[in-house]
């Protein structure tokens, strides 16, 4: 039931605050600077000066390190061709143009070689079915940037039904999480003069009606949480200054984010306020026409969704209610109005087992599709509600066994149609349309082109035994004729946090950068992730964080035991929270690896909660300013680094404009390793936000550096 995700805007803020993997600093220098009065004393840290993100001395250091890394990697034989090949993948005109339906049109944002910053465009379903649809351009970001002398990056648009002519467009400088919102008129293709405008900050605007919006943003001192997100949400009337907007809800500085949204589903119009206290800890309120708030009295830890007549809950903890106990990981539903009237009768549509978890729930106008993971493999079930309650049938879409299937509603207010996407490591993604799910096979609309030669490879799933005996799955892509003599260059990737599941997907970048060369690619489904639901995530929280790292090390050892590879030919790689994982592989398990790649990482866990959005992750890691530090210090790579120890070759990279995970983490770790004369190189892209780059060209360059480093080190 996805409706709540756009009804309650704080959910989007929570997602933006997160460390969810593979995908930004505000332009003002004072926002980049650490808040010294809120930080622990750091006299013992000689590298803290690198936390000043845009200081002249600091950026000179960055340029020096970039030049050193470029000289080694960009000058290597084959680099230029690899960068060209990766850019061709990213710029390909044959990629699937994924769309979202608004009214009669299907909208898409597109980047390629001719449109570096991108086009916002739309078409009809009739056109979209064609191999080469005719698109109507709505906004050209390259032209906008040239006209305004800016470096805008697309952050999305919220368009007002029923005619969808007015849109609130979010734009970010350089890919930062902080952005601006401007009102755009689709009928004229012009910005609305004196229209709604939200200045640059972390936050959002959302429609209530044509002349009224909800706004959560930086309203000045005291209006943002310690995590750097809005702590107040207001209602703002057209034609009035934003300063006069009326307060809807105010949270506390310790909350993560506050937001509100209007559900415009015909016949089910409602307003909600969401108070995100921490990850997987939020309160949901129904807002009456008089502004009064009534709490939806369900567990804070539950995933909540309200769509049409239904309230859906994915439980993260057992819940005793109405004389029954519902298991953690279950998905339960009831009628929303009945629940608000005091009834507590739920239908259980999914209950987990030791090997299953819920990957997603998609409600259409009259049906529900549940996406279930069984040992990290998808199965779809269609549910219908009738006079006798809910009935279900399995959906057969002919997906590959070791792959990923995802589902999304086309227009949940109007039809039962769903998009279905299938993919795996060796098979290009396919987009299908099931206009009437359960009635025959869905229609194939688009298929991603083949970007690399996968004919010589095979995908397998294996299980390693962790230190405490836990069975840990992992996927392996290897040459069919692998010698199993321990010599194969092997890249082991992981994440292990925030209940994010790593499932198979097709990547032309991985294919060109690694698989085509003959490398083995492995993805570890370690604890901390969501592969087996909430229990898998909760098993590696806070003081149990070490279990995620033990799992990853167990996979590394299993690869060696199977003679797929050996330490000198094995690399660990991870980004964001996965960068923390890679940092711990470096400092705690250096003997298992020949190379380490650490992307946009957390590394200094003593200070992480005082840097940018770090305070929002204390539910995951703990509070280093309390007794929690006793266990946090056992997985803080910056503190664990020992200049007397030997470490594998390391590549650390980040972006200057990452305003989610402070680039100081990466800078300081690199500086510490350089001072100890370790084998480390550092690269920092000036744009890109919490990712590799703001443009395809930037991303291609970073990934070419990444894979050149890995191949140079592991193929020796």
503-555 pLDDT, tens digit per residue, is 999 999 999 999 999 999 999 999 999 999 999 999 999 999 999 999 999 99
Longest CA span, the chain: 72
Q: Which of 476, 479, 472 is nearest to 461 (CA)?
A: 476
Model-wide pTM > 0.85: yes
Rounded distance between C-alpha atoms, residue 344 and residue 611, angstroms: 42
Looking at residue 657, what is its pLDDT?
85
More confident of the two residues 344 and 26 = 344
Q: Which of 664, 678, 676 is nearest to 48 (CA)?
A: 664
Which segments of the chain belong to CATH 2.130.10.120? 7-22+96-291
β-partners of residue 382 are 369, 393
Asked if pLDDT for residue 26 goes beyond 60, the answer is: no
Looking at residue 17, what is its pLDDT?
39
Query: What's the pLDDT band for 399 if we cut at 50, 70, 90?
Result: low
Token couple for 24:
């930004």
Q: What is the mean pLDDT of residues 671-681?
A: 98
Q: What is the mean pLDDT of residues 416-428?
A: 96
Asked if pLDDT for residue 81 goes beyond 90, the answer is: yes
Q: What is the mean pLDDT of residues 632-637?
A: 98
Report the b/e string of 675-697 with b at 16+ CB within 10 A: eeebebbbbbbbbbbbbbbbbbe
How far apart, in Å, are the Cα atoms of 505 and each of 425, 429, 552? 5, 8, 20
Which CATH homologous superfamily contains domain 76-87+451-714? Alpha/Beta hydrolase fold, catalytic domain (3.40.50.1820)
More confident of the two residues 628 and 112 = 628
What does the CA dihedral 612, 572, 508, 114 come to, rounded to 10 degrees? 40
Rounded distance between C-alpha atoms, residue 282 and residue 277, angstroms: 5
CATH no., domain 7-22+96-291: 2.130.10.120
β-partners of residue 381 are 370, 394
The DSSP element (H or E) to which 457 belongs, if any, is: strand 457-465
Which segments of the chain belong to CATH 3.40.50.1820? 76-87+451-714
Asked if pLDDT for residue 607 goes beyond 90, the answer is: yes
pLDDT tens digits for range 142-192:
999 999 999 999 999 999 999 999 999 999 998 889 999 999 999 999 999
Catalytic residues: 576, 690
Asked if pLDDT for residue 686 goes beyond 90, the answer is: no
Q: What is the mean pLDDT of residues 279-304?
A: 97
Q: What is the mean pLDDT of residues 390-404?
A: 86
pLDDT tens digits for range 129-148:
999 999 999 999 999 999 99
Query: What's the pLDDT band for 28 if we cut at 50, 70, 90?
Result: very low
Q: What is the mean pLDDT of residues 49-66?
A: 96
Looking at residue 693, what is its pLDDT?
72
Looking at residue 687, what is its pLDDT?
74
């Amino acid at each position: 039931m996805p409706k709540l995700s756009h009804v309650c805007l704080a959910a989007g803020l929570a997602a933006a605050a997160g460390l969810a993997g593979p995908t930004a600093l505000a332009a003002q220098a004072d926002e980049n600077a650490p808040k010294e009065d809120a930080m622990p004393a750091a006299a013992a840290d000689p590298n803290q000066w690198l936390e000043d993100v845009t200081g002249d001395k600091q950026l000179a250091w960055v340029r020096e390190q970039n030049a050193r890394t470029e000289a080694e990697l960009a000058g290597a034989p084959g680099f230029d061709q690899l960068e060209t090949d990766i850019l061709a993948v990213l710029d390909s005109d044959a990629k699937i143009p994924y769309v979202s339906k608004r009214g009669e049109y299907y909208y898409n944002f597109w980047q390629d070689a001719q449109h570096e910053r991108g086009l916002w465009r739309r078409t009809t379903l009739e056109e979209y079915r064609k191999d080469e649809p005719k698109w109507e351009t709505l906004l050209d970001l390259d032209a906008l940037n040239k006209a305004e002398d800016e470096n805008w990056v697309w952050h999305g648009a919220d368009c007002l039904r029923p005619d969808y002519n007015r849109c609130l467009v979010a734009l970010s400088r350089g890919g930062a999480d902080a952005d601006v919102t401007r009102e755009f008129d689709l009928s004229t293709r012009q910005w609305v003069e004196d229209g709604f405008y939200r200045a640059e900050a972390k936050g959002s605007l959302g429609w209530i009606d044509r002349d009224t919006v909800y706004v959560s943003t930086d309203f000045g001192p005291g209006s943002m949480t310690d995590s750097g997100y809005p702590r107040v949400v207001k209602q703002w009337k057209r034609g009035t200054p934003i300063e006069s907007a009326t307060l809807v809800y105010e949270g506390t500085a310790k909350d993560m984010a506050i937001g509100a949204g209007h559900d415009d589903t015909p016949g089910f119009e409602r307003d909600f306020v969401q108070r995100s206290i921490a990850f997987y800890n939020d309160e949901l309120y129904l807002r009456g026409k008089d502004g009064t708030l009534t709490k939806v009295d369900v567990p804070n830890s539950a995933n909540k969704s309200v769509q049409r007549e239904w309230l859906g809950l994915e439980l993260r903890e057992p819940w005793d209610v109405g004389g029954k106990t519902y298991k953690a990981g279950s998905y339960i539903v009831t009628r929303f109005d009945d629940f608000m009237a005091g009834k507590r009768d739920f239908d259980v549509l999914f209950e987990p087992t030791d090997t299953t978890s819920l990957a997603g729930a998609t409600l259409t106008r009259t049906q529900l599709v549940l996406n279930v993971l069984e040992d990290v493999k998808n199965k779809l079930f269609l549910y219908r509600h009738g006079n006798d309650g809910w009935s279900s049938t399995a959906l057969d879409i002919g997906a590959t066994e070791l792959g990923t299937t995802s589902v999304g509603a086309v227009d949940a207010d109007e039809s039962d149609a769903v998009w279905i996407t299938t993919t795996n490591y060796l098979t290009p993604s396919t987009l299908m349309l099931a206009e009437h799910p359960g009635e025959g096979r869905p229609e194939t609309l688009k298929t991603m082109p083949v970007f690399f030669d996968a004919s010589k490879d095979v995908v397998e799933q294996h299980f390693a035994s962790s230190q405490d005996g836990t069975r840990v799955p992992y996927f392996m892509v290897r040459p069919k004729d692998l010698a199993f003599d321990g010599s194969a260059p092997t890249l082991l990737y992981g994440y292990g946090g925030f209940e994010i599941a790593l499932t198979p997907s097709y990547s032309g970048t991985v294919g060109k950068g690694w698989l085509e060369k003959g490398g083995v690619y492995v993805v570890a489904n370690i604890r901390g992730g969501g592969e087996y639901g909430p229990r898998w995530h909760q098993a590696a929280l806070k003081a149990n964080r070490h279990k995620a790292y033990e799992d990853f090390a167990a996979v590394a050892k299993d690869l060696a035991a199977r003679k797929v590879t050996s330490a000198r030919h094995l690399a660990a790689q991870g980004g964001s929270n996965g960068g923390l994982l890679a940092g711990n592989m470096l400092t705690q398990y250096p003997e298992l690896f020949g190379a380490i790649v650490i992307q946009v990482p957390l590394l200094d866990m003593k200070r992480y909660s005082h840097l940018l959005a770090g305070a929002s992750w204390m539910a995951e890691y703990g509070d280093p300013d309390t007794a929690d530090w006793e266990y946090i210090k056992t997985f803080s790579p910056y503190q664990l680094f020992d200049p007397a120890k030997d470490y594998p070759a390391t590549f650390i990279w980040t972006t200057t404009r990452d305003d989610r995970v402070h680039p100081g983490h990466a800078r300081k770790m690199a500086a510490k390793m350089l001072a100890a004369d370790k084998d480390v190189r550092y690269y920092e892209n000036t744009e890109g936000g919490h990712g590799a780059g703001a443009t395809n060209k930037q991303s291609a360059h970073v990934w070419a550096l990444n894979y050149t480093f890995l191949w140079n080190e592991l193929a020796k």
